[in-house]
């Protein structure tokens, strides 16, 4: 158990470490089969995917269920649901061959997007309130999202432009060398940032669909009562609709977690598959599912590696089982709390 989950001082190493290396360069060095880096990589990829997917999918579900015009919703919801049918191997292929090289060129601009886009949206909001009512009245309630889309796209373009200027000004036109010299971080082209986007894209349809159904199925008399008491639509959505739908929203997040934990092809094709234990966004990792897919075809039947891979598969099942069981317990408690509304 210590060799599988603890630090081992292997020959040629300066200190005990967690190491996964199923084959050695020569027969003089033994195989190193620590599962800790694989468990760490699985959780790392899952966390980054959920950090990207959960806010976007939940806010989109809240807007679609409470504010979007029904005629637009009839097109948007089926489109998002169709996204769930995209094969993960296709997403991994796109992430590895297109997204990773593209992301490498615009990393500084990417980190400016959370600053630039909200500022542009706030400026657009000010201009919207300064616009005469006769012009604003031409837009049906729930169709304002079409005004935000070009602003967001413009914010992305401006962020990439400013990122390039910032890189040339502060980082000597080489942010990778700046990261290494200043922060001691290495940059791998296929890294956790790419996996977070690609795997988050795969998780978003699941979370969005379940959360939107939960929000839409909240009894209408709750919203009507809140509005009758003087609350705004936003106050009603946050203070009444969201807590009432919390059991379904929690289930949506947990199902998305299980989807991300078990993902194989995206993490296999979009990371360097290096079993390192580092939370850096700019390094890759190796997940248990991808490791099984890579190692099992070459593992001699009945050998130590073969058995360890089956143990890894059992641990993967155990993680999802424990998380889903805990999620169901919490969901039932939340449902019991809000059942009398």
252 within domain boundaries: yes
- Give the tens place of pLDDT for each residue, 66-117: 888 888 888 888 888 888 888 888 888 898 889 888 888 888 888 899 899 9
Q: What is the DSSP string of 295-328?
A: HGGGSPTTSHHHHHHHHHHHHHHHHHHHHHHHHH
Q: What's the chain's Rg over C-alpha atoms?
A: 24
36 vs 288: CA distance, rounded Å: 10
Q: Which two tokens stand for residue 39?
A: 């468990």
CATH number at residue 145: 1.10.3720.10
pLDDT digits (tens, 9 = 90+) for 20-55: 887 755 555 677 888 899 999 999 999 999 999 999
- Specify if 17 maps to a domain: no
The answer to the question of residue 3 being in a domain is no
Q: Is residue 275 part of a domain?
A: yes
- 318: in domain: no
Reported confidence tier of residue 161, pLDDT bands at 50, 70, 90: very high
- Measured CA to CA in angstroms, residue 90 lies from 8, 93, 96, 309 at distances of 38, 5, 10, 26
- In 3D space, the residue among 107, 93, 91, 108 whose CA is nearest the CA of residue 49 turns out to be 91
| Residue 190 is assigned to a structural domain of this protein | yes
* Beta-carbon contacts of residue 171 (< 8 Å; ≥ 6 apart): 108, 177, 178
> 24 in a domain, yes or no?
no
**pLDDT higher than threshold 70 for residue 339:** no
In a domain, 194, yes or no: yes
For the chain, what is the domain count? 1
The Cα 300–Cα 305 span in angstroms is 8
Q: How confident is the model over 172-196, as pLDDT tens digits?
A: 888 888 888 888 888 888 888 898 8
- Residue 154 sits in which domain range? 35-305+327-338
């Amino acid at each position: 158990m210590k060799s599988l989950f603890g630090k081992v001082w292997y020959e040629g190493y300066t200190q005990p470490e967690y190491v996964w290396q199923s084959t050695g360069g020569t027969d003089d060095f033994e195989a190193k089969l620590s599962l800790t880096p694989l468990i760490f990589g699985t959780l790392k990829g899952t966390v980054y995917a959920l950090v990207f997917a959960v806010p976007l999918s939940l806010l989109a579900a809240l807007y679609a269920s409470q504010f979007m015009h029904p005629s637009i919703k009839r097109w948007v919801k089926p489109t998002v649901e169709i996204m769930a049918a995209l094969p993960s191997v296709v997403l991994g292929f796109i992430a590895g061959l297109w997204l990773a090289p593209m992301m490498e060129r615009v990393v500084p601009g990417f980190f400016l997007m959370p600053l630039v886009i909200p500022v542009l949206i706030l400026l657009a909001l000010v201009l919207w309130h300064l616009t005469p009512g006769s012009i604003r009245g031409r837009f049906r309630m729930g169709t304002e999202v079409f005004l935000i889309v070009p602003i967001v796209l413009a914010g992305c373009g401006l962020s990439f432009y400013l990122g390039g200027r910032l890189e040339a000004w502060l980082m000597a036109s080489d942010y990778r060398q700046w990261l290494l010299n200043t922060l001691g971080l290495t940059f791998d082209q296929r890294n956790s940032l790419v996996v977070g986007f690609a795997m988050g894209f795969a998780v978003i349809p699941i979370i969005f669909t379940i959360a939107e159904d939960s929000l839409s199925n909240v009894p209408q008399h709750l919203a009507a009562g809140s509005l009758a008491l003087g609350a705004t639509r936003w106050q009603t959505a946050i203070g009444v609709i969201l807590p009432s739908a919390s059991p379904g929203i929690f289930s949506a997040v947990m199902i998305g977690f299980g989807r991300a934990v078990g993902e194989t092809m995206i993490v296999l094709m979009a990371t360097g598959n290096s079993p390192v234990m580092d939370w850096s966004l700019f390094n890759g990792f190796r997940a248990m599912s991808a490791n099984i897919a890579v190692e099992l075809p070459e593992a001699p039947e009945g050998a130590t590696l073969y058995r360890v891979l089956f143990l890894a598969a059992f641990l993967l099942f155990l993680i999802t089982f424990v998380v889903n069981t805990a999620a169901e317990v919490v969901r039932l408690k939340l449902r019991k709390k809000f059942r009398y509304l």
